[in-house]
Amino acid sequence: MHPHSIDQLAFKDLVRRKWSVSLSMTVLMLAIYFGFILLLAFNGPVLAQKIGEHMTLAIPVGLGVILSACALTGLYVRWANTSYDKSVKDILSNMNGKG
């Protein structure tokens, strides 16, 4: 496959979109996790406060970090399965049309 037969603009746009989605999700995950760790390290008592008779805030926050990891991977798959894969298909069919 010769690189020149490809719609360069569409391809550049695809790569740019892929990495802006990937990198912003990466940054979000890093922020959530390291935010959690730094909160534990610098201000443990915030998480130790009670939200019920015995329940502490730390438990739902910890579960929230776990669920955010699942949600982010789910969002990425949805984006990739619809938007990304569709653009790839378009670029490939244009390429075959020209070639």
Q: Which residues bind other proteins (CB under 8 A)?
A: 1, 3, 6, 11, 14-15, 18-19, 21-23, 25-26, 29-30, 32-34, 36-38, 40-42, 44, 47-48, 50, 52-56, 58-59, 62-63, 65-67, 69-70, 72-74, 76-77, 80-81, 85, 88, 91-92
Least CB distance to other proteins at residue 28 (A): 9
Q: At what angle do helices 85-98 and 8-42 cross, to 10 degrees?
A: 160
Least CB distance to other proteins at residue 97 (A): 15
Task: Please answer whether residues 14 and 84 qualify as being in contact, where contact means their C-beta atoms are separated by less than 8 angstroms.
Answer: yes
Q: Which residue's CB is nearer to other proteins, number 52 or number 97?
A: 52
Task: Please answer whether residues 94 and 10 qualify as being in contact, where contact means their C-beta atoms are separated by less than 8 angstroms.
Answer: yes
Lookup: tokens for 88: 């790839």
Lookup: tokens for 93: 């069919």
Least CB distance to other proteins at residue 16 (A): 11
Within 43-84, residue ranges assigned H as helices are: 44-48, 58-79
Q: Which residue's CB is nearer to other proteins, number 65 or number 83?
A: 65
